[in-house]
Structure formats: structure tokens, C-alpha cells
Structure 1
Amino acid sequence: MNKSIIAAVIATVGFSSAAMAQDGMTVGVSWSNFQEERWKTDEAAIKEALEAAGATYISADAQASAAKQLTDIEALIAQGADALIVLAMDKDAIAPAIDQAANEGIPVVGYDRLIEDERAFYLTFDNRGVGTIIAQTVMDATPEGGNIAIIKGDPGDPNAGFLLEGMMEVVQPLVDAGTVTIAGEAFTDGWKPEGAQDNMEQILTSANNEIAAVLAQNDGMAGGAIAALASQGLDIPVGGQDGDLAALNRVARGDQTVSVWKNSRDLGKRAAEIAVAMAGGTAIDAIPEAQKWSGGENGVEMNAIFLAPTPITADNLNLAIDAGHITKEQACEGALDTVAACQ
């Protein structure tokens, strides 16, 4: 493909960097979208690690379109990507891109979301564990039980299923015991906060506002659910994940019970290191600390690394502050007097 065609492709899909690698290695990153606050942090960590390795970063934003993501990856390959890091918008629709990468000998890191293909390295956090933590923390704050709502992520993202499995490890025994009823649960297209707010409003209407707790599968959706609750004058336990700055402040204010922090700096750094290693000839099954895993829908055995998440509550908010993830000023604006980290 000549330079004029490459330039046209870049102009069409919109890359964050159009630099062509002259020397060294090029790693292309395909983002499903940049809607969530945390992806900016992930990107910064990936860039930093690639720069340290002497590699060039190029990227594309699929803007929540599975079809555009295929075009993006094709263009990243045309730019000369030696390895790909892919945050898949849809677990099934991404398959042709993996085929193309494999045909060209380009290794793929499935980033934070499962691409169930043995040719892709799977790097993520323990998402079932995240779901369990959210549910356990919220239910501990709801000792009398009652009606609960579950606000799920995008139906095309396997993480929504993994998170739900983890949540149900805690919730199902309570349902069986008759102390908890799932009054409503809904998927949220694109994990969008406004979609979560709409879902929460519908659940509140159907349950006559009789909801005791909410399990949201990320912080953006927790924020949407909290907005719906606030409009009805309800202040109940709500859990989420990602360690979004706004969510950590809600934890300090008492509006959100827990945000499970997945240190995306660690995830981004590891992804860059794995991509560079595989592009340099390291076999997919020779990546340090990798384990064999086959817990996906189709039972495909893959090489994977699962990082450990950290639940952040009002009691240990200092962990996120001390790690430099959020400043004390950001975390503690309007905080409750009882939050030790804000004293």
C-alpha cells in the first residue's frame, strides 16, 4: 500500500498518531471507544512503556462501532504495526481482524476484554473477582436484604457476563434464602452512564422505588444509577468498578459504597511489554507469569494473565491517594467527616 493510500485510510478512521515508524517497533492499539475516563490512563501507561522500549505507538478509536474497529485494525496493520493491542468492542465481530493479523504474522493482545481465540494473548483483571467484590461489599452494607437492582454492561462484552457470574456467587445464596430479591436487571449498551440512568429509572418505576441496593458493573453506570436514585430522594448502597476519579469522590461523600480499582497503569504497562515481547519473537506461551485458561463461553484454551483488583471504600480511600491515582483534594471534596483519608 503506497503512502497516498495510507494517508487516505488514516484520514478516514482518525488516528491519534499518524507517525510511521522509521526505526524500531510499532505497536498499534485499537480502542473500542474513549468514553470511559479510565482508558486515558491506560493509554498513558501503554505509551510510556512503549517509549521506554524504543517502540512507536499508533492508535485508533472505534467510537463504539464494531464495524469501524475492523477498519481501524486494517489501517493499523497498513501503517506497519508489528503487534496489536485490542480493546474489543464486540467479542464475536472482532474475529476477522484476528484472522487478518494472524495471516500477517502480527501478534495480538486482547486487552481487558476477552477475544476468545487461542492466537490472542488475554490480559485483564480478575473480572469474576471484581463482581464478587462489588456484590459482597454492597450486600454487607445491606444487612437486612430486600430488593436489589443489577445494572449490567454492554451485552456484546464478555466482561459483563464474568462480572455477573461473580456477583451471583454472592447474591444467589441470599436469593435462595429468601432475604434478597432481584427486582430488576438490565444490560446497558456501550456501558453508557445515561443508559444506566434510564435502566435504573425503569427498575425504580417497576419496583415502586422499593430498591435496597444497586450492583453496577462500572463506575460510569454507578453514577447514572445514583443520579436516578437521587431524583427519587433515595440514598442506598451502590457499587461499581474502575476507580474513576468521580466515583472515588462519591465514595468519600458517601454516595457510592465501593469502587473496585483496577490499576490501569499496571495493565497498560504489562500490555505494552507483552506486545513488544511477542513482536520480538517471544512465543505466546512463553510470556512470564502466563497461565492456561479456558473459562470463556466456548472453552478455548488461551494464554492469559489476570491482575488483582483493589476495592476502595471510605475506610481505605488512602490507598488510591497514596498510589498517586487521585489527589487528596480531588478525592475529598465534600467528603464525610468520618473518612480518615480526608482528615
Structure 2
Amino acid sequence: MTAIRTLALALATAALACPAAHAAKVGVSWSNFQEERWKTDEAALKAQLARTGDSYLSADAAGSPEKQLADIDGLIAKGAQVLVILAMDKDAILPALRKAAQRKIPVIAYDRLIEAPGVFYISFDNKEVGRLQARAVLAAKPKGRFVIIKGSASDPNSDFLRAGQQEVLEPAIKKGEVQIVGEEYTEGWRPEVAQKNMEQILTRTGGKVDAVIAANDGTAGGVVAALAARGIKGLPLSGQDGDHAALNRVALGLQTVSVWKDARQLGQQAAAVASSLAARKPVEGMVKWTGGDKKLSVDALFLKPVPVTRENLDLVVGSGWIGKAELCKGVAAAGAPAACK
């Protein structure tokens, strides 16, 4: 049994053994369900709340910061005793936090940092995600002309990722072995925006690009589309989240790495934190963290990401994250990764 599966089992067992003394209403505000992973997060969060006897209230902002503010008002009106917020915009969300603070409602910033007093932050170590992305791409292409396709400028995770990537790339850049020939944010993390950005970079560089570090699997998909339109295939490329389409690209050799942030773990842990905060109990494993732009000290809990390449695709199959048939769709027998044999 893998360490990840062992952790998940331990968390579930603990939850079953320690049901909430008083059921809490947990309000969850989702920025959108654009990325495949958010439905997985939601399912894990709901399942954990059901185990502890707490109730789940939710709203989907559909990518609108304005709707997200209205959604949170609605969740508060419905009696939410804890709020879990996947913020569409880290600054636009602040009025909702003030309203929650006035009512003494704990707030959990889910996966994306909301740097404000009293907010509990739960995520994976996003700088480490960036490091893992850069290491994998650099191992595949130690020298060359690199492109950086970042996430949304309104999401702090984008800059955390970029900082981690830079730590790894900096020595090669200083030696002149790696050149950054294009770098763009991707509004709303939208794949079509990433595709357009990549197309423009390819035009500016005359197609002279050797590797791409893309912030997540959605933006990586946009990059692949832009490269394919130019007849370019198999360029070293990163992503994150373990989207099924991206894992298939890894198996096909179209993507080098998808840094897997097991959404089942994050959803389950967030629900456990929500139960603890509602009961005014301490959160096990919590740390004080000051890594945001404002250097504000916040309570935080970080999970460990795992890089998935052709060499360890069996990990995502063995954990039940993806089936072998879907992972290996279109993969030729000759040269197939071990997980597809």
C-alpha cells in the first residue's frame, strides 16, 4: 500500500472514530468547476462531512468574483457556521471575509491563499509544486529556450509556483544554459488563454522553443494545442493536478510531468479542519505560516505533492485515481510506459 493511500485510510479511520459532537453547517464557495479536479475535491469534502455528521451547503461562482460575494452572503444567510472558500480573486473576496468576521464565522482558504487575519489556509506546498515541475522539465531538457506559462494573476498560487520554478532554473539561467524566451499569466487559468499566449510566443520566437513549464494541466492542454498547430510534438512540458487527460498525455509522451495534488486528500482534510473550527477545537498538524506577499501570520496546513512521470504512472492507477484503460488510451505497445504494459 502506498504512503498516500495509507494517509487517506488513516484520515478516514480517524474521522469515523471521532464524529462531531454537534453537527455543523459548512458553507463551501467554489470559484468554478472549470478544472476537472474540483468535482473530486467536492466529493471528498462532502463524504468527510457526512462521516462526521456535519452538513454541506455549497455555491458555484461560475468564475465571477461578484457572484462569489453574493454566494457567500447566501451561505451565511442559510446558517453556515464555517466557510470554506476557493477564491476566484484574492482581493475581491475581502468584503465577504469582513462579514464573516463580524459574525465570528471561521473561514478556510481552500487551496488558494486569502491573506487576511483569522483565515485558515489549507493547500499543498505550491512552491514545491513549482520546483517539481521545473526539475522534471530541466531533467528532460538541461539546456535550451524555455517558456513559462503561468496561472491567473489574481491567484497567489501562480506566483508561489513561479518562485519554486525559479529556484530550480536559476543556476542554469546564470550559466546561460537556459533562456526564458516567453512568460505570460493565464487569465482565469483558462486553457484557451494559455493556447493563445503560447501561439503568440511561438510567433515572436519563430517557433524556436525547447521546453515549456506550464502552471497546471489545463494550461498544459492549451500549450499542446498551440504546439500541435505548428506540427510540434513531444516538447518537454509540465503541469499539475493529475487531470486524466494530462496523465494520458504523460503516457503518450506529450507531457513530461503532472505534479499530482491528490484532491481526495485535500477535500477530506479541509472538511476535518472545518469540523474542528466549528467545534472551536485545535487542528492537528497546523503550522504558523508567513509566506504570503503581506507576510501575515496565518494558521495553515500543507499537504505533499507528488510528481507523476512515465516512470511512476502505476502510482495513480494503483491508488484508484485513474483506470488503466483511460490512462493508456492510444498508447502504442512499443515504448509504452510500464503502467500500460
Q: TM-score, normalised by structure 2?
A: 0.92
Q: Which residue, out of 155, 166, 176, partners 2:164?
A: 166
The answer for unaligned runs of 5 or more in structure 2 is 1-21
Q: Which amino acid aligns with 2:55?
A: T
CA distance in 2, matches of 1:24, 1:262: 29
CA distance in 1, matches of 2:294, 2:184: 24
Q: How many residues align?
A: 317
What CA deviation, in whole Å up to 9, does each residue of 1:160-193 have, x standing for no partner? 0000000001112211110111110101111000
State the 1:93 CA deviation. 1.2
Match of 1:61 in 2: 60
What CA deviation, in whole Å up to 9, does each residue of 1:209-243 have, x standing for no partner? 00000000000000100110111111211100000
CA distance in 2, matches of 1:269, 1:125: 13
Matches within 5 A, 1:313-332: 313-332=309-328
The answer for unaligned runs of 5 or more in structure 1 is 1-22
CA distance in 2, matches of 1:266, 1:92: 27
Match of 2:144 in 1: 146
Match of 1:189 in 2: 187
Task: Indicate conservation of the 8 Å contact 1:29/1:84, yes or no.
Answer: yes
CA distance in 1, matches of 2:337, 2:180: 31
CA distance in 1, matches of 2:172, 2:291: 25
Matches within 5 A, 1:9-158: 24-143=23-142, 145-158=143-156
Please say if 1:287 is aligned against 2:283. yes
What CA deviation, in whole Å up to 9, does each residue of 1:196-220 have, x standing for no partner? 0000000000000000000000000
Instruction: Give 3-state SS (helix, strand or coil) of 1:304's partner.
Output: strand
Task: Indicate conservation of the 8 Å contact 1:151/1:214, yes or no.
Answer: yes
Q: TM-score, normalised by structure 1?
A: 0.91
Q: Aligned Cα RMSD in Å? A: 1.0
What CA deviation, in whole Å up to 9, does each residue of 1:44-95 have, x standing for no partner? 0000001111111111111111111111101000011111100011111111
CA distance in 2, matches of 1:120, 1:220: 28
Q: Which residue, out of 320, 332, 335, partners 2:331?
A: 335
Instruction: Give 3-state SS (helix, strand or coil) of 2:310's partner.
Output: coil
Q: Which amino acid aligns with 1:106?
A: I
CA distance in 1, matches of 2:252, 2:109: 36
Q: Which residue, out of 292, 300, 307, partners 1:304?
A: 300
CA distance in 1, matches of 2:196, 2:323: 31
State the 1:24 CA deviation. 3.0
State the 1:157 CA deviation. 0.3
Q: Which stretches of structure 1, 4 residues or more, deviate above 4 A after TM superposition?
A: none
